[in-house]
Amino acid sequence: MKGVLFTAVLILSVATTACTQQPQQLTDPQAVSSIRYSNDSPSKTIEIQNVTYEVAGPGIPGRPKDEMLVLRKKSATKQVVDEVGAEASTTVEAWPLGTDFKDKPVYSIMTSGVDPVTLNGEIVVISRGLEDVEWWSVYKIGTGEPLFDTYVPVARSSISREIRTMRYVGLEVPPDGATDARLNAANVIAVLTYASAERVLREALITNDDTKAAQIMRSYFDATRTVDFDGKRIRITIRENYPSTAKAVTIDVPVTNDDLELRRSLTPAGIHLTAWKR
């Protein structure tokens, strides 16, 4: 009987302890979004701060297999009404799920731009075009390291039907006076980037023997560029803007064995793709 009584007391004690345990709760004192409108003459300004959260993982490239990350994405913008462009900054920080936000984050991405989004739980894409020209910066979601820049929306596809193996494609159109002097050559159009979530796998320099046409094709205002990718082929289309009536230029690049087959690319006469390294 004493043994039975002891067992009953022990069970009651364990049940009581379980009932008094509280689930872990984490709160973030920086979780504040706001908007401020100033009507001070002669300018009217709108200031917006947004804070959002996202959980990524498991299976994040560059992180432990079962780890999940909490991303805190903060964007702050300031715009003068009736003026083109805006001031904007974005910060993306990451912590292992369950970590106190007071602890140092795994990484912090801080840059000018807006609208930080994640793709496939593998990369972070931030819109950098704050005025007339749209462009994006791509970062590794596991480490926050830069991956590549692109002047077209990131194209993505799996290169395998059996196992999802995502690859990402971008097209960088160098500005006048690019830091890399090689990109200032008169025949340069753009740099094609083919990447995994962890590293750039291949880059190709696109050039045109007709330097006058090359300058139009790389112009932010005289031409429009699109990139499509289906896992087997990358198609780049460059079309001159109105009032030009020139036909679109199309470049097809096969993707085989997880690499660009530059020699088998289909291009108009005078346009070339060559391997490129920064």
Last residue of a domain, one of 60, 84, 119: 119
The residue among 119, 153, 169 that closes a domain is 119
Q: What angle do CA 207, 208, 212 make, to 5 degrees?
A: 125
Q: Are residues 174 and 91 in the same domain?
A: no
Does 275 map to a domain?
yes
In a domain, residue 76? The reply is: yes
What is the rounded CA–CA span in Å between residue 16 and residue 229?
A: 59
Q: Tens digit of pLDDT for each residue in 201-253?
A: 999 999 999 999 999 999 999 999 999 999 999 999 999 988 877 778 999 99
Instruction: Give residue 199's domain range.
Output: 145-278
Q: Using CA atoms, how far apart are residues 169 and 25, in angstroms rounded to an integer?
A: 40
Given this model, what pLDDT does residue 13 score?
40
Average pLDDT across the chain, whole number: 88
Distance, in Å, from the CA atom of 165 to the CA atom of 159, rounded to the nearest integer, reads 6
Residue 243 lies in a domain: yes
* Domain end (from 62, 85, 119): 119
Asked if residue 94 belongs to a domain, the reply is: yes
Domain count, the chain: 2
pLDDT tens figures, 143-160? 999 999 999 999 999 999
Chunk the chain into consecutive blocks of 10 residues (it has 278) and report each block's average pLDDT, rounded to whole numbers: 38 41 62 82 84 93 93 90 79 95 95 94 92 92 97 96 94 93 96 97 97 94 95 96 82 97 96 94
C-alpha distance across the termini of the chain, in Å: 81
Residue 200 lies in a domain: yes
91 and 178, same domain (yes or no): no
Q: Shortest CA distance to 124 belongs to which of 54, 214, 219?
A: 54
Cβ of 33: how many Cβ atoms within 10 Å?
A: 11
Instruction: Indicate whether 278 and 152 sit together in one domain.
Output: yes
- b/e sequence 193-218, b meaning 16+ C-beta within 10 Å: bbbbbeebebbbbbbbeeeebbbbbb
Residue 170 resides in a domain: yes
